[in-house]
Amino acid sequence: MIDLLNILEQTKSVAKEAGAFIQNERKSFDQERVEQKGLNDLVSYVDKETEKIIVDRLSKILPEADFITEEGTAERDGKEYTWIIDPLDGTTNFIHGLPVFSVSIGLKHKDEIVLGVVYEVNLDECFYALKGQGAFCNGQRIHVSKAQYLEESLIATGFPYSAFGKIDDYLQILRALMEKCHGLRRLGSAAVDMCYVACGRFDGFYEYNLKPYDVAAGIIIIQEAGGKITDFNMGKNYLFGGEVLASNNHIHNQFYGEIRKVWSE
């Protein structure tokens, strides 16, 4: 039988090792080694090398698992267990020297995320969760906020950088939420946004055009912290569907209502 608690401890160590590599490379980062995968979609040698480190270590921890990775170091999904990895979530921040980026590692068992680790490199904060065991940051139990209404909430989101076909809907939602909450923030790392919902710094988070590796770890961390995750239809297609609506649970219906007023399929 697989010992997920032991795997979690080893995964935390891998995430911190990857974070240390990222921080070291940041000291002498070479801007000329930045590539463009697509419109405003940047990747650096740091992303690629970090991913290689993570895949190598996780392959030894759980040899029978497949991988879904951002940079394609290993791309398979069909076995009972699958690692879902973003080696550097917040690449654009990293490239520009903005200190909000993270290492994100999730483990999927069949169709469910059962383990998640997000290491926010700059603040040395390791968020993690195991199914049924609660959510933690640096050894301390974390919980979502107690805000009861959207009007007393701080909301996080991400701005589209390439999928501009729904930009009008997005801007309408942005305006509506600006008028109905304490404020909106855009940090540039979906994994960090989701962890901040889990520990109560944000009360909610929404974004579209996301990838599985952006959200896999954050999903279980929020769930185990007492929060709620859905897609923009209040369904469960949030891992592969590209849409995530996360909250402390209390504000979820009101939050969803503002989005559905303007969002179209």
Residue 106, pLDDT score? 98
Alpha carbon distance 181, 147 (integer Å)? 11
- Cβ-defined contacts of 167-176 (< 8 Å, 24+): 169/262, 169/263, 169/264, 170/208, 172/262, 173/206, 173/258, 173/259, 173/262, 173/263, 176/258, 176/261, 176/262
**Token pair for residue 73?**
């170091």
150-260 has which CATH code? 3.40.190.80
Name the one residue in this structure whose structure tokens are 């483990």.
107
Which residues make up the CATH 3.30.540.10 domain(s) of the chain? 4-141
Residue 88, pLDDT score? 95
pLDDT digits (tens, 9 = 90+) for 66-84: 999 987 776 666 679 999 9
Name the one residue in this structure whose structure tokens are 């032991």.
6
**DSSP H/E element including 20:** helix 4-26
Give the DSSP letter string of 47-68. Answer: HHHHHHHHHHHHHHH-TT-EEE
Q: Compute the Cα dihedral for 2, 6, 191, 143 and give only its sign.
A: positive
In 121-191, at which residue ranges do the beta strands (DSSP E only) sit?
Answer: 125-130, 135-137, 140-141, 154-157, 183-185
Is residue 152's pLDDT more than 90?
Answer: yes
Is residue 237's pLDDT more than 60?
Answer: yes
Q: Could you say which architecture CATH assigns to the domain 4-141?
A: 2-Layer Sandwich (3.30)
Mean pLDDT of 154-162: 85
pLDDT digits (tens, 9 = 90+) for 201-214: 999 999 999 999 99
pTM for the full predicted model:
0.93
Which residues make up the CATH 3.40.190.80 domain(s) of the chain? 150-260
**Bridge partners of residue 184, in order along the sequence:** 155
**pLDDT band at 38; cut points 50, 70, 90:** very low
